[in-house]
A and B are shown apart, each in its own frame.
Chain A
Amino acid sequence: DQQVKQNSPSLSVQEGRISILNCDYTNSMFDYFLWYKKYPAEGPTFLISISSIKDKNEDGRFTVFLNKSAKHLSLHIVPSQPGDSAVYFCAASVNDYKLSFGAGTTVTVRA
């Protein structure tokens, strides 16, 4: 039973516009959340994270929002660039090193 769910398998966005990726989780014990980005034939690379004691974390063009009451987090990419075209994975952890991943969302940025 997947504890982390990304219900949108794909997202297409125009260059310069905002990309919003969503993630839902079921385990209320998760206390750390991460986003990974993956290009074809490469391993996932860490993008941004957020602790459960926060509701927002920002790093350049990337912002992650956490709504604990709704068990929902989202990743905003502003502005979207062609190099952002990749698969994005949401992941969660219960205060340790084991991560539970969502199925991923493929983002395509159109010129």
Chain B
Amino acid sequence: NAGVTQTPKFQVLKTGQSMTLQCAQDMNHEYMSWYRQDPGMGLRLIHYSVGAGITDQGEVPNGYNVSRSTTEDFPLRLLSAAPSQTSVYFCASSDGQGVTNYGYTFGSGTRLTVV
């Protein structure tokens, strides 16, 4: 049981480039989210999804797009990378019941540097 898998683990982008961070879970969880972690700021919610075909914005959505075509996958797209998007990105999933009992299951993160 792999849990939540994020790829790549590391990425360096040039300003203006686009890329997609991949996230997949094999727990048949309905809820999936993307967070970014920055020093001194904790984790901030970028986008989330309550099920296939349904997505919504979180606290810091600008510059990012998401889609949820299947239950398993929730990719995060950077449209035109900026140095302010240098961060560690975490994908997380929950069965909806679990967020209040067992919390989210997080992936191991993608460390992104934009130069």
B9 to chain A minimum Cβ distance, whole angstroms, is 9
Given the complex, which residues of B lie within 8 Å of A98, measured CB to CB?
33, 45, 48, 58
Known: A32-B100, A98-B45. A103 touches B108 (CB 8 A): no
**Cβ < 8 Å to A, chain B residues 73-97:** 90, 92, 94, 96
By beta carbon, the residue of chain B nearest A47 is B103
Q: By the criterion CB–CB under 8 Å, are B4 and A46 in contact?
A: no
A20 contacts across to B, CB distance below 8 A: none
Whether A97 touches B42, Cβ cut-off 8 Å, given contacts A41-B109, A43-B90, A43-B108, is: no
CA distance A101 to B104 in the complex (A): 12
| B33 → A minimal CB distance (Å) | 7
How distant is A90 from chain B, measured CB to nearest CB, in Å?
Answer: 9
CB-defined contacts of A34 to chain B, threshold 8 Å: 103
- Asked whether, in the complex, the Cβ of B104 is within 8 Å of the Cβ of A46, the reply is yes
Q: How many residues of B contact A (CB 8 A)?
A: 28
Say yes or no: is A36 at the interface (Cβ < 8 Å to chain B).
Answer: yes
What residues on A are CB-neighbors of B99 within 8 Å? 32, 93, 96-97, 99
* Interface size in chain A (residues, C-beta < 8 A): 27
Q: Is the CB of B100 within 8 A of A44?
A: no
Closest Cβ of chain A: how far from B49's Cβ, in Å? 10
Given known contacts A97-B31, A98-B58, A46 and B102 CB-to-CB distance under 8 angstroms = yes
Counting chain A CB atoms within 10 Å of each CB, which of B40, B43, B102 scores highest? B43
A36 touches B103 (CB 8 A): yes
Do residues A97 and B108 form an inter-chain contact, with CB atoms below 8 A? no
* Among candidates A46, A51, A96, A101, residue contacting B43 with C-beta atoms closer than 8 Å: A101
